[in-house]
């Protein structure tokens, strides 16, 4: 089955998510767990006593690269509780469907299936981003990309705003070297956004004289898309369409 993201997206999973289920006998009752994929590969045998390693040769370190805790869903309360928690912690939020809360074995199996799917999505997305960065000229890489990687959504949007202001200043003052520098930094930052955020459109209209209004609309569309406020996204898409036509 395809994972149902209530917050976040399968195109760019964060690597950590709140997973919730509804009680099939009481749909208003929400049960949940937390799933995470570790960003660092660990050889678990290094941290086990030798006698345990010898007795557990079949242990695969990859089995410890992701996990769910608690292993069986716990009572959370309402869906609003999960939504608020996901928003507060900037987590992906996944709807796991309905469960029989008395069938612990089946529930644990279902969590593991979802965890496996989530891990695959995360690894596939990660490998694509790495390939895209590796294809670029090594000279284009810079220390900023490392900083961008550890920024949250709000920080990245703030950084994008600063870079666009800097780019506009460089264009208005015909500073070609600064223009090139800004474009490289924005390109580096853009790798952390899905394609549908259309960072390229923001840059494109920023560089065109008398088109700053459209650039601003694309930026606000990107902002609300990053915040997953799809009602606002639709509003700005209509405004963009009016300006472009």
Residues 104 and 218 in one domain: no
Structure tokens at 220: 């606000």
Q: How many other CB atoms are found less than 10 A from the CB of residue 216? A: 17
Kindly report, residue by residue over 141-155, the tens digit of the pLDDT: 556 777 887 788 888
Instruction: Single out the residue in 133, 162, 179 at which a domain terminates.
Output: 133
Domain count, the chain: 2
Helix (H) or strand (E) segment spanning residue 76: strand 66-77
Residues 223 and 145 in one domain: yes
9: pLDDT strictly greater than 70: yes
Residues 100 and 160 in one domain: no
Q: Is 77 left (phi over 0), alpha (psi -120 to 50) or beta?
A: left
Biggest CA pair distance of the chain:
73
How far is 205 from 99, CA to CA, in rounded Å? 49
How much is the pLDDT for 79? 92
Cβ–Cβ < 8 Å for 182, 169: no
Residues 13 and 102 in one domain: yes
- 54 alpha carbon, distance to own chain's centre: 39
87: pLDDT strictly greater than 70: yes
Residues 126 and 143 in one domain: no
Residues 126 and 182 in one domain: no
Among 126-135, 194-203, 228-237, the minimum mean pLDDT is found in 126-135
How much is the pLDDT for 64? 63
How far is 84 from 90, CA to CA, in rounded Å? 10
Question: How far lies 121's CA from each of 19, 20, 80, 104, 160, in Å?
Answer: 15, 18, 26, 26, 26
Residues 192 and 99 in one domain: no
Prediction pTM value: 0.51
How far is 133 from 88, CA to CA, in rounded Å? 30
What is the per-residue DSSP string for 105-152? HHHHHHHHHHHHHHHHHHHHHHHHHHHHHHHS-GGG--HHHHHHHT--
- The whole domain housing 203 covers 138-244
31: pLDDT strictly greater than 70: yes
Three-state DSSP at 43 gives coil
Residues 29 and 120 in one domain: yes
């Amino acid at each position: 089955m395809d994972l149902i993201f209530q917050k976040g997206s399968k195109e760019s999973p964060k690597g950590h998510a709140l997973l919730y289920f509804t009680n099939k006998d009481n749909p208003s009752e929400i049960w949940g767990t937390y799933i995470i994929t570790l960003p660092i590969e660990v050889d678990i045998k290094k941290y086990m006593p030798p006698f345990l390693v010898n007795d557990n040769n079949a242990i695969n370190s990859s089995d410890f690269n992701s996990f769910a805790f608690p292993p069986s869903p716990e009572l959370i309360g309402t869906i609003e509780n999960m939504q608020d928690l996901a928003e507060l912690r900037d987590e992906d939020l996944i709807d796991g469907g309905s469960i029989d809360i008395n069938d612990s074995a089946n529930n644990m199996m279902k969590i593991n299936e979802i965890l496996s799917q989530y891990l695959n999505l995360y690894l596939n997305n990660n490998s694509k981003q790495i390939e895209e960065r590796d294809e670029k000229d090594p000279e284009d890489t810079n220390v900023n990309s490392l900083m961008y990687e550890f920024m949250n959504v709000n920080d990245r949007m703030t950084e994008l705003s600063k870079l666009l202001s800097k780019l506009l200043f460089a264009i208005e003052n015909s500073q070609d070297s600064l223009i090139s520098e800004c474009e490289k930094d924005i390109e580096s930052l853009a790798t952390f956004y899905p394609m549908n955020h259309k960072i390229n459109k923001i840059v494109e209209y920023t560089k065109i004289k008398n088109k700053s209004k459209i650039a601003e609309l694309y930026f606000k569309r990107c902002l609300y898309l990053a915040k997953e406020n799809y009602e606002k996204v639709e509003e700005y898409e209509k405004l963009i369409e009016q300006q472009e036509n």
